[in-house]
Amino acid sequence: MRLQDKVALITGAGSGIGYHTAVLFAQEGASVVVVDVNDAAGQKTVDEITQQGGKAIYVHADVSKAADCEKMIQAAEDTYGALHILFNNAGISHANDDDAINTTEDVWDLTMQINVKGVFLGCKYGIPAIRRAGGGSIINTASFVASLGAATPQLAYTASKGAVLSMTRELATIHAREGIRVNALCPGPLRTELLMKYLNTDEKKNRRLVHIPMGRFGEAKEIAYAALYLASDESSFVTGSNFLVDGGITAAYVTPE
């Protein structure tokens, strides 16, 4: 098992990438702290893990609030004695996110609070815990739009994920010699509820698909396997990376027919 005797905390673990990663990490031997704001979804993830013979607890936490982030890290240490893996995965893509002219200030602020401040707070409280454990891995969910502009405007989301990528690089540099690796996991467009709510017309979907050389949306489970690599000792020389799992979208200047 690739994560035997490790403790992993995953935010946004009630659905999508977080859910699939939580189940996979548990199957690979990790004790998992499932974090979400949707209590029913988070508990369902825990129930699935425990029914498969794995170890997991659920913690309700709003990652934009310092007290909640401190509480979730404390819960990991109190329950399992350590924290080795922190997956700052929780994020939003608001349906009303648009260009600079049409994006409202409240949509901008909410996106930054969750997508950027949430990662900052996770690291603020998580890094000391990982240091106490003797080192480990932090994975921050960014996006391919941290490297490319989106054809369909989503300015707040794009800016937030660029911030996550920059933050990841600096944290990786600061903490590398402490045995703490920090990487940005950058998915391409995925067939998740989060993105499909945003790409809510065939026109919007097709504007994305035409740019993906593989010709399809990715699956959340495919990103979970990438997270598993970054969490495991197999990636022991990987830090500060822009780890793209995007179906080739960032490699393509024009898309083959």
**Domains in the chain, CATH or no CATH each:** 7-238 (3.40.50.720)
Read out DSSP for the chain?
-TTTT-EEEEETTTSHHHHHHHHHHHHTT-EEEEEES-HHHHHHHHHHHHHTT-EEEEEE--TTSHHHHHHHHHHHHHHHS---EEEE------TT---TTTS-HHHHHHHHIIIIIHHHHHHHHHHHHHHHTT-EEEEEE--GGGTS--SS--HHHHHHHHHHHHHHHHHHHHHGGGTEEEEEEEE--B-SHHHHHHS-SHHHHHHHHTT-TT-S-B-HHHHHHHHHHHHSGGGTT--S-EEEESTTGGG-SS---
Q: What pLDDT does residue 202 have?
A: 84
Q: What is the pLDDT, as a whole number, of residue 255?
A: 58
In angstroms, the CA 15 to CA 45 distance is 8
pLDDT of residue 201: 86
* Residue where the block lists tokens 């020389």: 237
**Which amino acids are annotated catalytic?**
157
- pLDDT of 1: 94
Q: What is the pLDDT of residue 17?
A: 96
C-alpha closest to that of 33 among 88, 1, 75, 61: 75
Tens of pLDDT along the chain (257 residues) come to 999 999 999 999 999 999 999 999 999 999 999 999 999 999 999 999 999 999 999 999 999 999 999 999 999 999 999 999 999 999 999 989 999 999 999 999 999 999 999 999 999 999 999 999 999 999 999 999 999 988 789 999 999 999 999 999 999 999 999 999 999 999 999 988 777 777 788 888 888 788 899 999 999 999 999 999 999 999 999 999 999 999 999 998 765 55
Quote the pLDDT of residue 24: 98
Model pLDDT, residue 196: 79
Give the integer Cα–Cα distance in Å for 57 and 117: 24
Structure tokens of 219?
């699956």
Q: Taking Cα atoms as reference points, which of 123, 245, 101, 98 lies closest to residue 175? A: 123
Query: Amino acid identity of 251?
Result: A
* Tens-place pLDDT, residues 4-14: 999 999 999 99
> Which residue in this structure is represented by tokens 């941290």?
146
Is the CB of residue 31 less than 8 Å from the CB of residue 6? yes
**Cα separation, 214 vs 67, whole angstroms:** 42
